[in-house]
Amino acid sequence: MPMNNQLRKLWSAAGYSPKIGSAAVVPPPANEWRRVYHLTPAEYAISNIAFGRLKLARFADLNDPFELIAANLKDLPTKAFVTDFKESFDRENGLLCFSGDWMSPPMWAHYGSNHTGICFGFNLKRTHANDVKYVSERITLLPSSHSSGLIADDTTKAQLLFTKFEHWKYESEVRSLFCLRDAVAESGLYFIPFGGVIEVAEVILGARCRLSVDAVRGLVDKTLPGAVTFRARRAEKFFQMVPDENSVV
């Protein structure tokens, strides 16, 4: 599909910014879906395409040492509660991490192997989309209204699961949580198959990706019908990555 600025109106009507990176390349998803993005090294991306799946991350392995412990731990009961919650939740659950757009050069540098990787544009079921809240100070957990102490009710869990320090705000992170028992286990790793909660809509090669767009497009067309493949490039006027018009068909 060629570059089409008329599509931007559709994205805006669907509640997205008309400046989103994909807005002149593909139409927005249907209302029950949300378009989100996931950057990964090229070799992992090709494996994901070939096997039709995405690996779950584990909280203990994420790059933020404050994952699940955004709370102020100044008192021992809170520290004990948060520590126990982190260990027990991570033991049974994993997550998929997405971004709200793919235009950020630092995101490509940090998660897309210094722009040599690939970004997936996923349609994610809105029921599974959780926006991360960014704060400047550690949060204070309040006792449940039904208890004199802290309990892992939905409000408290959401605070711990979806709160990060404001310096991570550039990621515009969207999280999707999964029980490990509902994932596909293989050699100690866990995977979520494409086609249920997540569907691939776009495959975006980094500006420095050494793979051929045509070769990747051929693989995508065989395994992920309907997904659009193109390459990113540096914008001429802004500090952003944008679609390379020459790679859009």
d(CA 76, CA 113): 40
CA distances, 109 to each of 66, 96, 173, 212 (Å): 22, 19, 16, 20
Torsions phi, psi for 135 (to 5 deg): -130, 160
The domain locations on the chain are 31-247
Report the DSSP beta bridge partners of residue 34.
Answer: 124
CA distances, 207 to each of 119, 234, 236 (Å): 11, 7, 14
CA distances, 7 to each of 13, 26, 173 (Å): 10, 7, 24
d(CA 187, CA 107): 29
Quick: pLDDT tens for 177-225: 999 999 999 999 999 999 999 999 999 999 999 999 999 999 999 999 9
Q: How confident is the model at residue 143 (pLDDT cuts 50, 70, 90)?
A: low
* Residue 151 contacts residue 141 (beta carbons within 8 Å): no
**pTM as predicted:** 0.93
Percent of the chain with pLDDT strictly greater than 70 = 96
Q: In this predicted structure, what is the pLDDT of residue 4? A: 83
Q: In this predicted structure, what is the pLDDT of residue 146? A: 43
Closest C-alpha to 190, from 198, 199, 181: 181
The contacts of residue 64 (CB under 8 Å, 6+ apart) are 164, 165, 168
d(CA 64, CA 45): 23
Q: In this predicted structure, what is the pLDDT of residue 154? A: 85
d(CA 232, CA 219): 18
Q: How confident is the model at residue 63 (pLDDT cuts 50, 70, 90)?
A: very high
d(CA 239, CA 49): 29
Closest C-alpha to 37, from 195, 229, 171, 140: 171
